Structure formats: structure tokens, C-alpha cells
Amino acid sequence: MESNIIQFSEFLKKRHFTKSILLWFKKNNRKLIWREQRTPYTTYISEIMLQQTTVGTVEKKFPVFLKKYPNFKSFTKSSEKELLTYWSGLGYYRRARNLWSTIKILNTSYRSEIPKQKKLLLTLPGIGVYTASAIRAIGYNLPDSPVDINIQRVFSGLYGSELSHKQIEIILKFIWPKNHSRDFTEALMDLSSAIKKNNDLIINGLDLKKYLFSKNQKKIQTIKFKKVSNKKIKISFFIIRHKEQIAFLKKPNLSFFDGFEHLPNSQDEFSSELFTTSQSKKIKDIKYTITNHNFQIKVFEFFTKSRNKKFKWFDLKDIASIPLPTLYKKILVLVP
């Protein structure tokens, strides 16, 4: 089995795969905003944002984020809550909370720098095998070879059937340009992106499309395809208004959107009490899906005469500056 992998690696070497891809990359690299000022810091931020998140989404959020947080030290003037307002819309909010923890560690114990050593990187919250390698290869241009789903697809395609993470590491060790880790990593990412877009892609006589789609096409395209049934959750959210203020929960009861302010909802004790003591009207039904969960949501609006102290009250005009996930923003848009 592994002898095939060695043979394949030698084939790539004979075809000058590495050099060809680097040359192709020089002309065809994507002009991505986080590549403009490549530092270990910008690499770290962009790699965390790009975890399970599309390039297009990150392109919108990254510049605003970097203006607010231009370096590790800039976080000392901020708070986890404020960080979440800048992360809002990116999803997987655990990443933001891990980022806060990690940067706190870096500012107190690492002189506001991110370490180069893989062992140290792996101790930091939110940094796993891929991100640690990416920070080393892209941020520091050190000889390391991150393997993400794109790189896995490129080499599985070239090989003709799905390769394991370990097998790809063997291949990469064979062909890796030790002094050009940053370029080569980015080149492989861009290659994957180009393969999806272009009808033909011939690099130094190597017809990548032909290799990628001639054999076992279906198998390669379904790498990492997981079927998981969605859980249905019925829930109501309450917009409770008093004059120009809106009620939020003091103690969140939802396991989602950790760290954000939460709208009162039907999973709370007070729910039935609310309906008997106040006038309400249903203003909308919303279907909302996140990974493995389907929410069937009813939104109710209440106007109360008193400001119940069970809640935290925010002025309507301040809504934009408090940390809210996209769902709550969608709900609050309904407030005139």
C-alpha cells in the first residue's frame, strides 16, 4: 500500500510538480485581504476565521476586525463581549471565545507573540494540528505542511482515490519546498479553488483536471461527506418592550450562541406567566437551521408597563453595539 504512495510521490517529483505549482501560483494567486500583510498575527486571525467558514464570508469580516484589533496587544483594551460583536455573523462562536483565551495567554506569558514551536501552539485553545502547521508554514514560513480538506482533495484527486491524512503527509514530505512553505501552502489552496472553477487546468504538461476527474470521480467528490439527522427544536422568542427598551436574559438558558446576550424564550420558567400578565401578539414564524439542529421559531412581541428586574434592559438605540448572533439580529429587525 505505502509503496504506491512512494511511487506516486516520485512521479510528482519527476514531473517537477512543486516547481510548476509555485510558478503557476506566482501568476494565478488569489488576492486575498489577509495575504496583504502577512504576519504571524494576521495568519493566526485569518486561519481561525477560515475554520469551517468560506473565503467569501471571511473577506467581509476580516478588514473590519483588523481595524479594531490590529495586533495582539490591542485586545487588552477590549473585552470578550466586545470581541463577540466583531465575530457576530461568522458563526461557531467557540472560536471567538478560544481566541480571547489564547490572546490573553499570549499577552501575559508570551510577550504578545504567537509561538513558533508546534508543541506550544498545540497547547493554545482553538489551535489544533492544522492551524498550528498553518501558523508555522504561512505565518513564519517555517518548513511545515498543513493538510486541510482542500489539500486532501487535490492529492486524492491526483492519486486517483481517497488518501488518508497520513498518506498525504508522506507525499508532502517528499515534494515539500522547505524554504517556500508559505507560497506552497497558499499555492495548494489556490490550486484547489482553481480546479473547481476552471474547465481545464494544465500546469507544466500536467493536466490536473484529467487526473482529478478521470478515476473514482464520485468517491473523491464526497470526501468528508457526513450524513447526520437534524434534531427538531420548537421554541418561541419574546421581544419584551418597555418604552424604548428591550429585555434580555440575565442568565442564558440556551446552549447555543454561548457568550452572547439572549432574548427571553419559551424554555424559561416565566414563559407562561408572561402570557397571562401581558398582552402579546405573534409577529412571525422563522425557520432557522444550524449544524444538526432545526429550529422552528415563533416570535412574540410584548408591551409591558413595568420594567421587570428579572431582565437586563437595553435601549433600542444600543442594540447595534451589543453582541448578538445573526438569528437574534434577524428577530430584532422586526422591531419598528
Segment holding 283, helix H or strand E: strand 280-290
Subset of residues 244 to 263 that bind DNA, contact rule: CB under 7 A: 255-258
> Segment near DNA (CB under 7 A), from 8-16, 106-114, 277-285, 320-328?
320-328
Sequence-distant (6+) residues with CB within 8 A of 255 are none
Distances (CA, A) of 269 to 251, 265, 273: 12, 9, 8
Cell of 257: 450562541
Helical residues (DSSP H) of 29-127, grouped into ranges: 40-49, 55-68, 80-87, 94-109, 118-121
Subset of residues 80 to 139 that bind DNA, contact rule: CB under 7 A: 88-94, 98, 122, 125-132, 134, 138
| Pick 122 or 241: Cβ nearer DNA | 122
CB of 230 to DNA, least distance (A): 7
Nearest CA to 40 out of 89, 97, 110 is that of 110
Cell of 288: 432557522
| Pick 64 or 149: Cβ nearer DNA | 149
**SS3 assignment, position 277:** helix
CB of 53 to DNA, least distance (A): 5
CB of 298 to DNA, least distance (A): 15
Strands (E) located in 117-271: 202-203, 206-207, 231-242, 245-249
Which of 47, 186, 261, 301 is catalytic? The answer is 47
CB of 111 to DNA, least distance (A): 22
| Pick 233 or 316: Cβ nearer DNA | 233
274 binds DNA (CB under 7 A): no
| Pick 82 or 275: Cβ nearer DNA | 82
Burial 35-45 (b: 16+ CB within 10 A, else e): eeebebbbbbb
Segment holding 296, helix H or strand E: strand 293-303
CB of 262 to DNA, least distance (A): 12
Instruction: Report the C-alpha gap between 306 and 241 in whole angstroms.
Output: 10
287 binds DNA (CB under 7 A): yes
Subset of residues 20 to 59 that bind DNA, contact rule: CB under 7 A: 30, 32, 46-47, 50-57
| Pick 88 or 145: Cβ nearer DNA | 88
Instruction: Report the C-alpha gap between 98 and 77 in whole angstroms.
Output: 18
Active site residue 47: yes
| Pick 287 or 317: Cβ nearer DNA | 287
Subset of residues 144 to 173 that bind DNA, contact rule: CB under 7 A: 148-150, 164-166
Looking only at the bridges linking them, the beta strands covering 231-242 and 206-207 are unpaired
Sequence-distant (6+) residues with CB within 8 A of 284 are 298, 299, 331, 334
> Segment near DNA (CB under 7 A), from 2-10, 208-216, 226-234, 245-253?
226-234
186 binds DNA (CB under 7 A): yes
Count, residues near DNA per rule CB under 7 A = 60
CB of 133 to DNA, least distance (A): 9
Binding site residues, DNA, CB under 7 A: 30, 32, 46-47, 50-57, 88-94, 98, 122, 125-132, 134, 138, 148-150, 164-166, 185-186, 189, 221-222, 224-225, 227-228, 230, 255-258, 287, 289-293, 325-327
User: Which residue numbers are catalytic?
Assistant: 47
